[in-house]
Amino acid sequence: MASLSTTFVASQTFLGSTAGRRLPVLRPKATFSTSIRAVSGGIACTRNGRRRFMVPAASRHLIGSVTKTEGLRFAVVVARFNEIVTRLLLEGALETFTRYSVKEEDVDVVWVPGSFEIPLVAQQLGNSGRYNAILCIGAVVRGETTHYDAVANSSASGVLSASLNSGVPCILGILTCEDMDQALNRAGGKSGNKGAEAALTAIEMASLFEHHLKG
């Protein structure tokens, strides 16, 4: 293994005199050596033959797989409000599950009135122990009042709370858009299908928990 060794000399300074001038004179006092070398599991630093500390090597990287989907089960909670958008998001999600070999019988779809109702149902599904991840789909479009802000903020924070309280990944697939054109563009239009993207996130998170973080 490669190693790097360095010898250091500690010195003492005192004052002498030459031709009436006081000059610094260096006298060796002590020597010690330090070596740094690669070892299994990290980098060791040794001083005077004694190991002083260990620098850990690179840590393991745990990543969810989108190809190991066998046995994973998913629930999709969908808001009926703005169904012209949410149904397109759902179609994108279901197509993604199929593309990544998730069996149709391993996906349950639950409809709720609106995005505000999604978090409660998501948490209940997470607590059931039947699913590896919950996908939450909705569409909140700004109107003339502040109702948009209340629903958008509450639904987003509610989905996060459902994840934390149930211990099951709850994926946010709720659009918050300024107008219907923006929403449709993100439901299969020129901006892609955010339902499909959220489904892919659900697969990766389900795999991460199942294969690496399972208690």
Give catalytic residue positions. 147
Distance CA 52, CA 56 (A): 13
**Rounded Cα gap, residues 137 and 135, in angstroms:** 7
Adjacent-strand bridge partners of 37: 3, 44
Question: How remote is the C-alpha of 116 from its chain's centroid?
Answer: 25
Quote the longest CA-to-CA distance of the chain: 100
Q: Position of tokens 């479009």?
A: 141
57 backbone dihedrals φ, ψ, rounded to 5°: -75, 180
Q: How many CB atoms lie within 10 A of CB 169?
A: 23
**Structural tokens at position 212:** 């690496």
Tokens, residue 213: 């973080």
Query: Is-contact 43 51, C-beta < 8 A?
Result: no
